[in-house]
């Protein structure tokens, strides 16, 4: 024994009964020895730290370490950290009652646990049976080695001290916050774990997807004559062509005596197959209906809404895509439309917003409550904008996000998504109130279709939720006008809404054939571009689309104007423009024109649609206003005239 009273050294062997003071007997064997060395540790150090030297002037706490010597010289060092970890298998009360400690635990090849227990009274059957019952294992899975009483008491005091327990609790809390990734078993490595009972279910699910990842089949069918293809082969070919072209919609239209198949690319339809025999069109419609899991004979009498699930290659990686299937009974044969949700743009910069608009968006979605409303016409990119915002919110992975859609168009494993189907008992109201009871931080609503929807969304925002939704309106002014007409109290609108974003999509010039438009450049005073058309853009001159939006952040001034019932929606917008809170659509259009993103004709078309309520599409209005002599008052009410010059033709001031 060490002379230092704070140091204890004990060696006990298997097969002997230790004395009360922990001294082993004389007939001991050395083939199975538990050797614990307890040395002093300075108070304040970590409990598992080994201290080589003893400081007689400072207080000490015991810090044991142990070694297990096996036959043949095999040994393993056990630190206090191991004993703390193993103590979870045997609670303190049980350890004290039976004077037992877990010193080792491992698993066999079959996965069953095995324990090695250090026991003071190793020959006491009641103690051994009590430990086995506490561990809930078979007696054959537990082996016992003797330990001295003094050593046991010192270990118990060290392992279950207050400092140690605080350390263990802190470590457990830290581990509970760490993410564990599911690891498949060796037999199912690289795939999904399954049991024999679930194999049949998995097979049924897998057959719902149409596999289009075979590139050799696609190339072979593409080079064959369409008349030689079977109906199933032709259906797979047109699905492949549709998804590879990057089109958003496919229209299968029947006529007499022939039909056609058209794709919508960058909001314009072009014919991909023409003069298809009427009988072939009917076969294609029936084949697509069967692929969608619907009865083809019912398409003659009623419309069908369904989905077709396909598995395709995107960037060389298999991806699952759902195509929205819609059919309408027509005069000759059912007309079918397939809509594909293209790969979403998950960056706000990639969507096309300006720098200040992104800053306003970041301020809006960083709030813990409120509504972000994205408005625009059908096909204006509202869903993609919401997806880009969701992507920002999903990055920290610390929020509970629930999304309600009719249906869900973009799937995400980081959101709880509820897809509503027509003619089902689970309605929008059921989904929304179920969502509120599920502890969400962020709620996504597909569309605010009525005053009731808007009212409950505002109530959800006021009770501490961040709500993201869409709305059908052409501009910020139209959005405010419609909300005022819905009868929602202005105070609720002012406090419940964080931001309104109104957007449309414009076609981007093809970078391969983009050239400068000299006439337009001279009129505007900066380089303006147009395009001539090439093979890469299908001779259209445009390739891809980008968003053109106006964003109004509800700051204190805007909220005060909203609550003022004497101000109309147009008055609120004018004040926001004059204060610099809102960049109008024409100012955004000028930015898009200056950086060469779009052409003059595309900008004019977008402005004529968005601002039609102000008669921007009327040539007579332009002519009348350009001849007017008194224009100063109008310019002052709109702000700086240079920001509102019309893009093409005669430059006027609105």
**Matching residue, tokens 């009868």:** 487
Q: What is the pLDDT of residue 480?
A: 95
pLDDT tens digits, one per residue of 167-198: 666 766 666 666 666 656 555 544 444 444 44
pLDDT at 165: 62
Can you give the pLDDT at residue 421?
73
The DSSP string of 367-435 is SSSEEEEEE-STTSSHHHHHHHHHHHHHSS--S-EEEEESS--S--TTSEEEE--TTSS--HHHHHHHH
Among candidate residues 56, 58, 128, the one with its CA nearest the CA of residue 97 = 128
Rounded percentage of the chain residues whose pLDDT exceeds 90? 27
Assigned token pair, 543:
């390739």
Given a cut of 70, whether residue 587 has pLDDT beyond it is: yes
CA distance 428 to 404: 8
Are 175 and 114 contacting, i.e. CB atoms less than 8 angstroms apart? no
Mean pLDDT of all residues in 276-303? 86
Contact 394, 412 (CB under 8 A): yes
357's CB contacts (< 8 A; 6+ apart) are: 501, 549, 551, 583
Residue among 159, 344, 267 nearest 605 (CA): 267
| Range name among 146-155, 196-205, 466-475, 483-492 with the lowest pLDDT average | 196-205
> Taking a C-beta distance cutoff of 8 angstroms, is the pair 568, 530 a contact?
no
Average pLDDT for residues 424-453, to the nearest whole number? 89
The pLDDT score that the predictor gives to residue 167 is: 65
SS3 80: helix
Residue 534 has pLDDT above 70, yes or no: yes
Q: For the chain, percent helix, then strand, then coil, each to nearest 5?
A: 40, 25, 35
Q: What is the pLDDT of residues 332-376, one digit of tens each?
A: 888 999 988 666 778 888 899 999 999 999 999 999 999 999 999
Q: Give the separation between CA 47 and CA 573, rounded to whole angstroms.
A: 66
Q: Quote the CA–CA distance of 341 and 410 in Å, as a whole number.
A: 7
The region of weakest confidence among 39-53, 226-240, 460-474, 538-552 is 39-53
Does the pLDDT of residue 648 top 80, yes or no? no
For residue range 352-364, list pLDDT tens digits in order. Answer: 999 999 999 999 9
Most confident of 75-79, 552-556, 606-610: 552-556
Q: Where in the chain is the domain with CATH 3.40.50.300?
A: 348-508+545-619
Work out the pLDDT band at 311, boundaries 50, 70, 90.
confident
Closest among 229, 505, 510 to 378, alpha carbons compared:
505
For residue 182, what pLDDT is reported? 64
Strands 113-119, 100-107: pairing kind = antiparallel
If pLDDT is split at 50, 70 and 90, which confidence band does 255 have?
Answer: confident
Other beta carbons within 10 angstroms of residue 358's beta carbon come to 17
Q: What is the pLDDT of residues 111-164, one digit of tens each?
A: 788 998 989 988 898 899 889 988 888 888 899 988 888 888 888 888 877 666
| Averaged pLDDT of the chain | 76
Max avg pLDDT among 237-246, 422-431, 495-504: 495-504
- pLDDT recorded at residue 558: 96
What's residue 623's pLDDT?
42
**Burial class for 389, CB neighbours closer than 10 Å (0-12, 13-18, 19+):** buried
Q: Percentage of the chain surpassing pLDDT 70?
A: 73
For the chain, residues classed under CATH 3.30.450.90 are 209-340
Given a contact cutoff of 8 angstroms between Cβ atoms, the answer to whether 341 and 410 are in contact is: yes
CATH class of domain segment(s) 348-508+545-619: alpha beta
Domain at 209-340: CATH architecture: 2-Layer Sandwich (3.30)
DSSP string, 517-555: -HHHHHHHTS--EEE---GGGTTSSEEEEEEEEEEEE--
Q: Is residue 501 pLDDT above 90, yes or no?
A: yes
The H or E element that residue 337 is part of is strand 335-340
| Distance separating the N- and C-terminal Cα atoms of the chain | 100
Of 180, 167, 100, the residue nearest 134 (C-alpha): 100
pLDDT class of 490 with cuts at 50, 70, 90: very high
Query: In this model, does residue 573 exceed pLDDT 90?
Result: yes
Q: Is 366 exposed, middle or buried (0-12, 13-18, 19+ CB in 10 A)?
A: exposed
């Amino acid at each position: 024994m060490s002379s230092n009273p704070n140091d204890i050294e004990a060696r006990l062997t298997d097969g002997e009964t230790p004395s009360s003071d922990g001294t082993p007997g004389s007939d001991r064997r050395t083939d199975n020895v538990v050797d614990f060395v307890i040395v002093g540790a300075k108070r304040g150090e970590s409990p598992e730290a080994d201290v080589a030297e003893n400081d007689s002037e400072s207080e000490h706490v015991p810090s044991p370490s142990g070694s297990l010597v096996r036959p043949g010289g095999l040994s393993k060092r056990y630190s206090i950290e191991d004993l703390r970890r193993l103590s979870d298998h045997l609670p303190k009360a049980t350890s004290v009652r039976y004077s037992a400690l877990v010193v080792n635990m491992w698993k066999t090849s079959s996965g069953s646990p095995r324990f090695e227990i250090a026991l003071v009274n190793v020959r006491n059957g009641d103690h051994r049976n009590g430990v086995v019952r506490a561990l809930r294992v078979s007696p054959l899975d537990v082996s016992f080695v003797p330990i001295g009483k003094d050593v046991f008491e010192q270990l118990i005091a060290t392992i279950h001290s207050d400092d140690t327990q605080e350390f263990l609790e802190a470590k457990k809390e830290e581990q509970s916050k760490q993410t564990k990734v599911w690891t498949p078993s060796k037999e199912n490595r690289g795939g999904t774990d399954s049991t024999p009972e679930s194999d049949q279910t998995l097979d049924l699910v897998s057959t719902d997807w149409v596999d289009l990842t075979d590139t050799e089949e696609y190339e072979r069918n593409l080079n064959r004559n369409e008349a030689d293809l079977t109906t199933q082969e032709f259906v797979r070919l047109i699905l492949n062509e549709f998804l590879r072209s990057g089109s958003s919609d496919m229209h299968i239209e029947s006529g007499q005596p022939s039909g056609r198949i058209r794709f919508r690319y960058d909001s314009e339809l072009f014919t991909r197959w023409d003069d298809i025999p009427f009988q072939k069109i009917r076969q294609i419609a029936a084949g697509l209906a069967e692929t969608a899991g619907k009865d083809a004979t019912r398409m003659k009498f009623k419309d069908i809404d369904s989905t077709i699930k396909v598995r395709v290659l995107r960037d060389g990686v298999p991806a699952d895509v759902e195509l929205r299937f819609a059919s309408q009974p027509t005069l000759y044969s059912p007309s079918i439309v397939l809509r594909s949700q293209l790969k979403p743009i998950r960056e706000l910069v990639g969507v096309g917003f300006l720098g200040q608009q992104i800053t306003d968006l970041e301020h809006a979605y960083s709030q813990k409550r409120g509504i972000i409303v994205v408005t625009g016409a059908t096909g204006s990119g509202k869903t993609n904008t919401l997806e880009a915002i969701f992507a920002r919110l999903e990055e920290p992975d610390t929020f509970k996000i629930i999304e309600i859609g009719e249906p869900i168009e973009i799937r995400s494993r980081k959101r709880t998504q509820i897809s509503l189907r027509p003619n089902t008992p689970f309605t929008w109201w059921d989904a929304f109130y179920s969502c509120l009871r599920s502890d969400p931080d962020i709620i996504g609503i597909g569309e605010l279709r009525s005053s009731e929807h808007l009212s409950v969304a505002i109530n959800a925002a006021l009770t501490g939720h961040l709500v993201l939704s869409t709305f059908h309106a052409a501009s910020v002014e139209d959005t405010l006008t419609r909300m005022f007409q819905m009868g929602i109290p202005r105070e609720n609108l002012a406090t419940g809404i964080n931001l309104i974003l109104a957007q449309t999509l414009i076609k981007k010039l093809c970078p391969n054939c983009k050239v400068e438009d000299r006439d337009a450049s001279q009129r505007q005073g900066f380089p303006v571009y147009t395009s001539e058309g090439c093979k890469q853009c299908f001779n259209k001159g445009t390739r891809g689309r980008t968003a053109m939006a106006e964003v109004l952040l509800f700051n204190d001034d805007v909220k005060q104007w909203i609550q003022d019932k004497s101000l109309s929606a147009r008055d609120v917008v004018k004040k926001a423009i004059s204060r610099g809170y809102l960049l109008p659509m024409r100012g955004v259009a000028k930015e898009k024109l200056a950086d060469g993103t779009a052409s003059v004709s595309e900008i004019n078309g977008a402005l004529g649609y968005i601002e039609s309520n102000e008669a921007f599409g009327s040539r007579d209005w332009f002519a009348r206003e350009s001849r007017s002599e008194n224009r100063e008052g109008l310019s002052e009410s709109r702000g700086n005239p240079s920001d509102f010059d019309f893009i093409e033709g005669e430059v006027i001031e609105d």
